[in-house]
Amino acid sequence: MSYAALHEHHQRLSHLRHVEAIVSWDESAMMPPGGGEARADAVSTLRGTIHQTATRPELGEWFERAFGERANLEAWQQANLREMHREWFRATALPQQLVEAMSRAESRSEQAWRTLRSQNDFASFLPLLRDVVSRKREVAQALGEQLRLSPYDALLDGFEPGARSAAIEPLFTRLRAFLPGFIAQALERQKSEQVLPTVGPFAVERQRWLGLELMRRVGFNFSHGRLDTSHHPFCGGVPQDVRITTRYDVNDYAKSLMGVLHETGHAKYEQNLPPSWLTQPVGSARSMSVHESQSLLLEMQVCRSRAFLEFAAPHIQQAFPDAVSVAPGAYTPENLFLQAARVEPSYIRVDADEVTYPCHVVLRFELEKSLIDGSLRVDDVPEAWNAKMTELLGLSTLGNDRDGCLQDVHWPAGLFGYFPTYTLGALTAAQLYQAAGRAISDLEDQIRRGEFATLDAWLRDNVWSQGSFLETNDLVTRATGSPLSTAAFERHVTRRYIERL
Amino acid sequence: MSYAALHEHHQRLSHLRHVEAIVSWDESAMMPPGGGEARADAVSTLRGTIHQTATRPELGEWFERAFGERANLEAWQQANLREMHREWFRATALPQQLVEAMSRAESRSEQAWRTLRSQNDFASFLPLLRDVVSRKREVAQALGEQLRLSPYDALLDGFEPGARSAAIEPLFTRLRAFLPGFIAQALERQKSEQVLPTVGPFAVERQRWLGLELMRRVGFNFSHGRLDTSHHPFCGGVPQDVRITTRYDVNDYAKSLMGVLHETGHAKYEQNLPPSWLTQPVGSARSMSVHESQSLLLEMQVCRSRAFLEFAAPHIQQAFPDAVSVAPGAYTPENLFLQAARVEPSYIRVDADEVTYPCHVVLRFELEKSLIDGSLRVDDVPEAWNAKMTELLGLSTLGNDRDGCLQDVHWPAGLFGYFPTYTLGALTAAQLYQAAGRAISDLEDQIRRGEFATLDAWLRDNVWSQGSFLETNDLVTRATGSPLSTAAFERHVTRRYIERL
């Protein structure tokens, strides 16, 4: 009875979050600039209303009674109860007023960031970021007390339930040890290769056509989703209506194409979550790292492989006949592979190759931990950023905050504790894909033929249909036979960037 | 003190309605078809939440106290209190459960209508429409009891506060007497005219360019709004972020262009509402008829005039160089005017000229009154529709429901009591524009030069900046010197269609 009340309550919550997801997408993909001020107020009230609903006073009693009746529940309902309680326990740590103030500060700061980043103006952005960080520290403190976690782990746990800094640090330490030497080795290997450039212009409409075509081929369901343009690409919306975005560079079609395939990986996860659980916490995507594993499995493991590029080459050639006629050799599968699998230390995380990418994440993880524990002041971020970029990738960002600490939407939008999930996702993607390869003997040949059904079935069984039924560690261990490590990732990058398989 | 609480409460309400407006726009302009089912649930819960907020139990006491302190309020606050109370009194007539059930029925029926209309399938639509009508009758009954109005007038009052069937009927009776003879006269006059056809194809991108260009010239503010495509054109969003839509016909650019200018008239009203009152009921658009008067003033009074078409002709020529080169004579201001001011009895309301348009409205007004009072059964709508179309415009819709009773989104979406506001708006537009013409002696010359600032200033003073400060009748009388009548409209159509001025 109490479980049924909780079920219905979460249904209503999911409806309000549906609305929140659509207006958030709208804000990034559709909203004219003058709409921002009023939108920030509107979304803040909506979030406050959701928070108020999520913490309504009856819930404590309902949970107590539902846990008492737990033995009568089916397994998925028990998992649902665990996830409901996890959310609620987290939400009750924060007074509604703080949630709304936080939301307003984040909206304003994110909106200002859009302009100030392009103007390379950290000074003007500083007061807004200070405001976001100081409020976020207050939030982290309150959450940490409730959850009995350090403030940073309390934020991390919001994106990655069950994850702890102490468990992430050994993985990142291993990557810090492995990567610098590996990057040098890969760069050395590349020196001996001839790669022909693909030279634009690549008309935006043709890029969009190509993106839509390959989305369709790899299994994006257009009855339940769409592709648009935004400043910062993302996957939003709801499982029944997934909104992915990209941005176009007329001189580099591959940036948008690979971005679209990346977001399509996120989208396929959402579109294939268990249909009958969709309005319930147990029906949601497991965590950000599992989400990222699905985007990276598609982009990095599948779409940047030799096999996929053999399949994709004719589509790419069809999209850009003029560019191809100038330099046909640049659009052979072999050359497209050498382009798609290229290591190059660079400033911008979202444009980074998969080998240098973890360095960007380690940098942010270390800085944001310090921002939240108070050992780093917001004013000192540009300098600290530069120091770590120099140390990790040999690049200086002094005076270039646009391509340094202003490059990401995350901190302006208040998303602290999110960054490590990208690299956890990369490790998970490699581990899952190697497990899928053990289960499907001709996987590479299938991909070369543009056939994704068998891989999708494996992912559906092992990841998509699970929703949040299992904890992340259990999901990974069940699917791959072992807990998460860096081994599969190291093997993957060695095969691709050294052995060139 | 109680007034201040009411003020803040309405601010929060306006935030939630902002969100509702954006997701409604999204549903019509962006949402993929598979998203509909989940969206209907989400919007229903949002509307329920808004309704719950709008009827929270403290309000009765707040209103009582605020009315007691009324003498201390400024005039705009007193008007605001009147409008707040009007909304609340209306909302408290309906239990939340009925509001949510209604919302779900309307969403489902509107979504089904999109497909079934194009399939000319009234039979499949019938159960959905029956459901909407029977629930709407229940709603109208409950509202009528609370407001001491007939059920139909209670619905009408929701779109047109203060309007009553008994006041509309004499105006419509006069139009029923005037129009048939006038239409015959105009058709006779047209026989002697040579009108050259404009022959497409008119590429959608060029039509969009032209629409955006003229929107800009007539004063749409793109920092606070945008233009998109939808099945049924509308003006949505919020004053700070107005979303207008159009649809394109490659064989007839003028349909979309005049539609865009029509919606731009709506949009300018929204964008110019009093900025400091925007989150309050007194800051909202006065009523649907006043809204429609602003779209029709721009489309019918201004943009289909000889003067405007002299200004617009070069833009139209620039948009479609290929079409113009085939038949340059079709794109002269004179010919464009004869095309834009042409009477022709036809099936589709939204495509109707301004002379036959009121016949479409009278038909719907009469039918929907009967549907709500129960004297017409939903099953008999196609037949009744056909009878009135034959009587009013000499056209039969037998077996052609797509172009008959299935053509409008209103009934599928539960909007009963809305239709009469179109013709009240047309009468108001004519009366306002003639008053503006008396105040601005060279108005026509200004329009010929593409200058709208003086007209906008007059409209801002008399309509836009008023929000809902005055009641509709007072607003019209104050702006034009007399209460609403058909005289200005009759004079306008006589000048345009008989005297051809």
Q: What is the pLDDT of residues B58-111, one digit of tens each?
A: 999 999 999 999 999 999 999 999 999 999 999 999 887 888 888 889 989 998
**Chain A residues lying within 8 Å of B279, measured CB to CB:** 41
Q: Hey, what amino acid is at B427? A: L
Nearest to B408 by CA among B357, B370, B372: B357
CA B10 → CA A450, B54, B80, B283, distances in Å?
Answer: 55, 8, 10, 11
Among A12, A45, A240, beta carbon nearest to B34: A240
Q: Measure the N-to-C terminal CA separation of chain B; round to a whole number of Å.
A: 57
Cα nearest neighbour of B37 on chain A: A240
Question: Hey, is B424 helix, strand or coil?
Answer: helix
Q: How distant is the Cα of A226 from the closest Cα of chain B, in angstroms?
A: 7
Question: Is the CB of residue A352 less than 8 Å from the CB of residue A365?
Answer: no
- Please tell me what DSSP assigns to residue A251: T
Q: Which residues is B238 bridged to in the sheet?
A: B241
| Structure tokens, A455 | 């891989």
Contacts of A238 in chain B (CB under 8 A): 35, 38, 42
CB < 8 Å to A49, chain B: 16, 49, 53
B53-83 b/e (C-beta count within 10 Å ≥ 16 → b): bbbeeebeebbeebeeeeeeeeebbbbbbbb
Do the chains contact at A34 and B241, CB–CB below 8 Å? yes
DSSP B131-167: HHHHHHHHHHHHHHHHHTS-HHHHHHHHHSTT--HHH
Cα separation, A380 vs A388, whole angstroms: 13
Contact A30 B30 (CB under 8 A): yes
B46:A222 CB<8 A: no
Using CA coordinates, name the residue in chain A closest to B222. Answer: A32
Contact B38/A238, CB-based, under 8 Å?
yes
Residue B319 has a pLDDT of: 98
Q: SS in 3 state form for B248-266?
A: CCCCCHHHHHHHHHHHHHH
pLDDT recorded at residue B388: 95
Q: What residue in A sits closest to B35 (Cα-Cα)? A: A241
Q: What is the pLDDT of residue B96?
A: 78
Q: Cα separations (Å) of B473 from A466, B163, B455, B486?
A: 61, 9, 21, 14
Q: What is the pLDDT of residues A430-452, one digit of tens each?
A: 999 999 999 999 999 999 999 99
Is residue A283 classed as helix, strand or coil in its secondary structure?
A: helix
Residue with tokens 């939240």: A372
Strand locations in A34-110, DSSP E?
none
As given in the structure block, the two tokens for residue A387 are 């120091």
- Which residues from A are below 8 Å from B230, CB to CB? none
Pairwise CA distance, residues B428 & B287, whole Å: 12
Please report, for residues A39, A144, A485, B66, B430, the alpha-carbon distance to residue A88 in angstroms, rounded to integers and kept in the order given: 26, 14, 31, 38, 58
Out of B23, B35, B225, the one facing A32 most closely (by C-beta) is B225
Q: Best residue in B10, B13, B15 to probe A by mutation, most A CBs within 10 Å?
A: B15
Rounded Cα distance between B91 and B96, Å, is 9
Whole-number Å distance between alpha carbons of A382 and A371? 12
Q: Rounded distance, CA B426 to CA B431, Å?
A: 9
Interface test with A, best of B17, B22, B50 (most A CBs within 10 A): B22
What distance in Å separates the CA atoms of residue B431 and residue B479, rounded to the nearest whole number?
9
Q: How far apart are CA B108 and CA B111, in angstroms?
A: 5
What residues of A act catalytically?
263
Rg (Cα) of chain B, in Å, rounded? Answer: 23
| pLDDT, tens digit, 9 for 90 and up, residues A395-424 | 999 999 999 999 999 999 999 999 999 999
Question: 3-class DSSP state for residue A161?
Answer: coil
| Residue B271 tokens, joined | 């964008």
Distance from CA of B188 to the nearest CA of A (A): 48
C-beta of residue B412 within 8 angstroms of C-beta of residue B113? yes
Distance, in angstroms, between A222 CA and closest chain B CA? 7
Whole-number pLDDT of residue B123:
97
Question: How high is the ipTM of this complex?
Answer: 0.90
Mean pLDDT by 10 residues, chain A (501 residues): 94 98 97 94 94 94 96 97 96 86 89 93 96 96 96 98 97 95 96 95 97 98 98 94 97 96 98 97 98 98 98 98 96 97 95 96 98 97 96 92 95 97 98 98 98 98 98 98 98 97 89
Below-70 pLDDT ranges, chain B: none
**Segments of A131-252 assigned E as strands:** 225-229, 235-238, 241-246
User: How far is CA A182 from each of CA A179, A344, A355, A490, rounded to the nearest angstrom?
Assistant: 5, 12, 8, 9
Query: Is the pTM of the predicted complex or chain greater than 0.80?
Result: yes
Nearest to A35 among B11, B20, B240 (CB): B240
Residues of B belonging to the active site = 263
Chain B CA closest to residue A40: B15
Q: Which residue of chain A is at minimal alpha-carbon distance from B41?
A: A15
SS3 A97: helix
- DSSP-derived letter for residue A266 is H
Q: Which residues contact B30 (CB under 8 A, 6 or more apart)?
A: A30, A226, B228
pLDDT at B350: 87
Encode pLDDT of B122-153 as tens digits. Answer: 999 999 999 999 999 999 999 999 999 999 99
Hey, are the CB atoms on A224 and B32 less than 8 Å from each other? Answer: yes
Q: What is the CA radius of gyration of chain A?
A: 23
Give B42 to chain A, closest Cα distance, Å. 4
Contact A42 B15 (CB under 8 A): yes
**Cα separations (Å) of B425 from B288, B472, B498?**
8, 11, 22
Chains A, B: CB contacts within 8 A come to: 109
Which position has the token pair 């064989």? B251
Measured distance CA(B226)–CA(B220) in Å, rounded: 9
Please state the domain extents for chain A. 2-159, 204-345+442-470
* β-bridge partners, B229: B246
Mutate: best of B11, B17, B37, B49, partner A, most A CBs <10 A:
B49
Tokens of B47: 């509307």
Of A19, A37, A278, the CB nearest to B46: A19
* Residue B246, strand partner residues: B229
